[in-house]
Structure 1
Amino acid sequence: MTALKDSYDLVVVGSGAAGMAAALTAAEGGLDVVILEKDATVGGSTAVSGGAIWIPDNPKMRAAGMEDDREAAFTYIAGEAGNRMKPDLVRAFLKAGPEMVTFMEAHAALQFEHRAYSPDYHPDRPGAAMGGRVLDALTFDGRTLGDDFDRLKPPIGEFTIFGGMMLNRFDIGHFMKMTRKPSSALHAARLLARHGRDRLRHRRGTRLVLGQAVAGRLFKSVLDRGIPVVTGATLERLEMLGDRVAAVTLADGRRVAARRGVVLATGGFPQNAQLRAQVMPHVAAGAPHASMSPAAGTGGAITAAQAIGAHFVTTNSHAAFWAPVSMLPGKDGPRPFPHLFLDRAKPGVIAVGPDGRRFVNEAVSYHDFVSAMIETGTTRAWLICDCRALRRYGLGPVRPFPAPWRQHVRSGYLKTGDSPVALADAIGVPADALEATVAEVNGFAETGTDAAFGKGSTAYQTYLGDPEVGPNPCLAPLTRAPFVAIEIQPGDIGTTMGLDTDPSGRVLREDGSAIPGLYACGNDMNSIMAGAYPGAGITLGPALTFGYIVGRHAAAG
């Protein structure tokens, strides 16, 4: 067990991207820092995320010769967030984001690469960009963590193959084509060989990508700096000395003084069922909901801050970053699987509600998809495709060819039918409606235009489709039996509502005054997007940036 002193300059509560960024920045500024983590492992929701980091006008894109405009990014965010936006926080993010990238590459193991083509989620809106703003952490060798590798929170099991082997977007593309292209087969073979060697010594693969690479690289940096990370440390309350936060008390009775302050970075409240019901109307109405965030994210830090007068913002347009999920059967009960970008936009995949009719453009972002579910009252729906699409692209955790898929039928997760009528009977929707829906989509596929919902009508949507399919990369007829379906429901990948802060990350009271010695970042801080979801990485981008801002401010005294 990591030793815990009685006092530090800065106490950081939470070990995700925001918390570790704050700790690293403060330590570089000369502070004595500790990280307290409620969970048994390190990395928080960052470690189980897709790892995208949205930083407009970042130095990596600039170095590659790409142009960006911070004012354009501000315009884009303003159009997304509307009058709920706090302009000073957005401008602080846009200014400090590129600085954070430079800082991390100079003083930490967190190294980045940019996505040259990765459209913002609403590329047709003013200020949007077609690429460059999204960063990924470079692939990380988990073996460099030594014995601490087992302290890093593992990825979601369904996001891996062959017992813990991780794949990024580039790898997935090769695996999907490995039976058709020799270069893809070679790439897949190399990854499999590496994974085979890993499993001789480790319980899972050590080639870390996505959010694992972000969390792993930050954790390595924290360890290299000698910053202690104490797990199993649950925040109970914040202690005041006069009007200043001076210490934290843990659930086990330990007290840790904080000479410069306390940083709250525990990941929001996605697993707090009571609070979800208060701020999510569909949950209050009894609709199903599941979060992909770690179980430790119950909002304890927000509650502790409220107890000393902090303002918790509940006016965002949406309470969470939505994602449709399906519930996978398991020996320990059903568990959620998120349908983010691998299946819904693909040609030959549609979504229908209980009436057997489409209700949304399937290729919109996961946040927009669930927004449509909630707005239309379609909180129980089905993703449907034919056998051709299933074997070419997969559907959720059902892998494409050559992986087997019948076990998902036997478990009851995947429903099948030899025709749209038979599938309608299997999932309990009107047969005539589903048959008409499939016929309509098949007609749209021939013309290349989805006249009902516009699937494949923006650069973001076609980016997620299949470039080998035309005239619309997101449309194909559903004609080859068996037809299959997976039930989906609303879910989230984190909460947007959080503690009100100023541009330095200081937590504010309801009257707008700052609480001395108390900071928030990550999902404990109210999202600067105010409930909107403009693009990939708009959680980790601000999390890292405000972690950097907070650490810098605390070190400056």
Structure 2
Amino acid sequence: MVETLSGLQQNETFDVAVIGAGGAGMSAALFAAIEGARVLLVESTEYVGGTTAYSAGTTWIPNSPHGPSVNPHDSNANAEAFLRRAVGERSNDALRRAFLQAGPQAVAHIEANSDVKYRARLFHPDYLSELEGSTLRGRALEPLAFDGRKLGRHFALIRPPIPEFTVLGGMMVDRDDVAHLLNMTKSFGSLRHAVKLLARHARDRMSWPRGTRLVMGNALIGRLLASLLARDVTVLVSTKLEALSTNASGGVDGITLSQGGQRRQIAVTGGVILASGGFNRHPHRRRAMLPGADPAWCPGAPGHTGGAQDLALAAGARYGEGALSNAFWAPVSVRRRSDGTSAVFPHFIMDRGKPGTIVVNREGRRFLNENTSYHLFGIAMQDAHRKTPSVPAFLVTDAEGLRKYGLGMVRPGGKGLEPFLADGYLTRGATLEELAAKLGIDPAGLADSVARINDYAKTGVDLDFQRGTTDYQRANGDANWPGPNPCLGPIARAPFYAVRLYPGDIGAATGLVSDHEARVLDRGDQPIGGLYACGNDMQSVMGGVYPAPGITLGPGLAFAYLAGRDAAARAKAAQSEAAGAQASASPVAPVARAAAQPVNEKIV
């Protein structure tokens, strides 16, 4: 049920309180509710869903119940070896094993007891596919599409997707839909799929503010919300966590909340689970932990201010150390919308890895493998910028590349370019020299970079950065490309185009140190009673490495499962202890014990 804070009593008691209603927080609340706990879910913004609602909703769980349907040969040993090679000592090996063990259990449990449903993606390679133990399929799960109309008025609670990721005023499309829409003039099956999508959306817009066919992260959040409401979980939005209450032993046993001038203290018997999204928008910590990264480049949802982590640190928690990076990254482009808000567009796979594109720095030179994972791309931009101006970098293509693949917010087809050119998001040049002049980059460097990539497109071999040499990289190229390498194509057909790229942080990797049950640890490595962390509030089990798709949501689900169940069990134990104490204090109890004593003595 969705409540206002004024609807709760002062010192009202819940078994479990969850702070943050993103994917991990909603999952933790649901797992606790499945155990029979009375659960309070608190969200600081007006929407539930967090950054998960913006995402593809991919959840990396090796050896889930769905994995064998597309990859019957995977094993826990393979996944563990892969993570050991990818992550190494950047995270605790025991925590990685806890994730690998709990992940499949979490998927089976949530599907058996809620409306959350997944399927294995038929082909979705691990990003570090060159490492032994990696797979091309089976570990990446995606949520099934969800009908948002089932939520009724609560549909409005779900954070809408990034507008630039929708079409026709709010119609969500996933990667399969995109393929059908681009192919609908060539295939009857694609045309039929497209017509069904468009007809459904037309009906939706007669009654709803946006499309109600939810896919990707929105589908996952819709399914979680429906499941939470079915189990009478109390949901508070636009509510701030003001304080954590601690008992004499230092454990957390309550929270203080505020909303619209109201303030309530809430008692919590089982535990408080922090899933508030991490530190990325913290007013001070961001500058220290992500130096040089403008918050305007962050495409994440606005709720991850780090305020809950501040309270945990004051209660004795500590941040983890040793990660490859304090955040996960993606190259982004930025555009000012007509309403004055800023659109931040992550360049995951649709353009930069396709043939006929390159990325250059201010000198007009390539400085990275354009087909590397978005996380390594963001890190490479920052590393290169320390030597040569590389932020912004410039994603360059020609007329054919723009027509086939689009460029950031510019959709494939090559039409409707004028607004993007007018506001400077897209830059066009009749020649490479003109494009370089408009961008303020070295024309000789750009001409040389284009000439080299054109040569590499003929041979299929990138002598500079080995582009297209791994299964992951080739998967993000163009499978229909006629050349020898699906990631390499010429840049030759005028005019030429470019957008500016920046390193955007898409989530926190550094978080609160926690154990194999998601219990937050103090400076002496002891659990702080009643305090848990999951999602981006927890130190990344991946150690700031991004080895595969969905490695934030996967551990988020697994440790939400562990935290929710453990906190619910603590609540049950507290209830049993209280019931036992009450029975001991009852006037009947001494008589009962006295009557029972002789029987016990005879038995002995």
TM-score range, shorter chain: over 0.9
- Equivalent of 2:328, from 312, 321, 329? 321
1:267–1:522 Cα contact (<8 Å) kept: yes
CA distance in 2, matches of 1:404, 1:497: 41
2:417 aligned with 1:405: yes
Q: Secondary structure of 1:59's match?
A: coil
- Counterpart of 1:504 in structure 2 is 517
- Give the drift of 1:553: 1.1
Deviation at 1:185, TM superposition (A): 2.6
Partner residue of 1:308?
A: 315
**Corresponding position of 1:552:** 565
Task: Decide which moves more: 248-257 or 304-313.
Answer: 248-257
CA contact 2:91–2:540 (8 Å) conserved in 1: no
Structure 2 matches for 1:380-419, cutoff 5 A? 380-401=392-413, 403-419=415-431
Shift of 1:64: 4.7
TM-score (norm 1): 0.97
2:170 pairs with 1:164: yes
Give 1:126's aligned residue.
Answer: 132
Please tell me the root mean square deviation across aligned C-alpha atoms, in Å.
Answer: 1.4
Q: Please state whether the residue corresponding to 1:324 is helix, strand or coil.
A: strand
1:483–1:526 CA distance, 2 compared to 1 (3 A) = same
Structure with the greater alpha carbon radius of gyration: 2
Shift of 1:298: 0.4
Who is 2:110 aligned against? 104
2:120 alignment partner AA = H
How many residues align? The count is: 554
Q: Tell me the equivalent position of 2:279.
A: 269
Q: Is the 8 A contact 1:139 1:213 kept in 2?
A: yes
The residue that corresponds to 2:298 in the other structure is 291
Counterparts of 1:516 and 1:334, CA distance in 2: 42
Does 2:346 correspond to 1:338?
yes
1:411-444 deviation per Cα after TM superposition (whole angstroms, max 9, x unaligned):
2110000111111111011111111111111111
1:333-482 equivalences in 2 (<5 Å): 333-377=341-385, 378-401=390-413, 403-469=415-481, 470-482=483-495
Query: Is this contact kept in 1: 2:71–2:138, CA < 8 A?
Result: no
Query: Aligned with 2:16: secondary structure?
Result: strand
Shift of 1:510: 1.6
SS at match of 2:284: helix
- What is the rounded CA distance, in whole Å, between the counterparts of 1:127 and 1:62 in structure 2? 16
Structure 1 SS opposite 2:319: coil
Q: CA deviation at 1:451?
A: 1.1
**Contact map agreement 2:299 2:506 (CA 8 A) in 1:** yes
Indicate which of 513, 518, 528 corresponds to 1:515: 528
Q: Which residue does 1:229 correspond to in 2?
A: 235
The Cα of 1:312 is off from its aligned counterpart by: 1.4
Equivalent in 491, 508, 511 of residue 495 of structure 1: 508
Whether the 8 Å contact between 1:288 and 1:379 is mirrored in structure 2 is no
Distance in 1 (alpha carbons) for counterparts of 2:71 and 2:364: 48
Structure 1 CA distance for aligned equivalents of residues 71 and 176 of structure 2: 22
| Mapped partners of 1:344, 1:16: distance in 2 | 29
Q: 1:418, 1:482 within 8 Å by CA — same for their partners in 2?
A: yes
2:254 pairs with 1:247: yes
- Bigger Cα displacement from structure 2, 20-29 vs 171-180: 171-180
Q: Which amino acid aligns with 1:88?
A: A
Q: Secondary structure at the match of 2:209?
A: coil
Unpaired stretches in structure 2, ≥5 consecutive residues: 571-604
* Cα shift at 1:273: 4.3
**One-letter amino acid matched to 2:376:** D
Alignment check: 8 A CA contact 1:380 1:488 kept: yes
In structure 2, how many angstroms separate the alpha carbons of the residues matched to 1:328 and 1:281? 22
Classify the secondary structure of the residue corresponding to 1:416.
strand
The CA deviation string for residues 509-543 of structure 1, in whole angstroms up to 9 with x for no partner, is 12101100000001001110010001100000011
Query: Aligned AA for 2:225?
Result: F
Q: Is the 8 A contact 1:97 1:541 kept in 2?
A: yes
Counterpart contact for 2:19–2:42, Cα < 8 Å: yes
Instruction: Tell me the distance in 2 between the aligned counterparts of 1:281 and 1:38.
Output: 26
The alignment partner of 1:337 has SS state of strand
2:40 is aligned to 34
Note the alpha carbon deviations across 1:246-293, whole angstroms, 9 max, x for none: 11112453211101110101111122242121112444xxx6762111
In 1: Cα distance, 2:198 partner to 2:296 partner: 36
Amino acid paired to 2:199: A
1:186 counterpart letter in structure 2:
R
Secondary structure of residue in 1 paired with 2:66:
helix
**In structure 2, what is the Cα distance between the partners aligned to 1:212 and 1:184?**
23
1:155 aligns with 161
CA deviations on 1:5-62 (whole Å, 9 max, x unpaired) are 5110111111111111111111111211110111111111111111100000111022
For 1:360 and 1:519, the matched residues in 2 are separated by 39
The two structures have a TM-score, normalised by structure 2, of 0.90
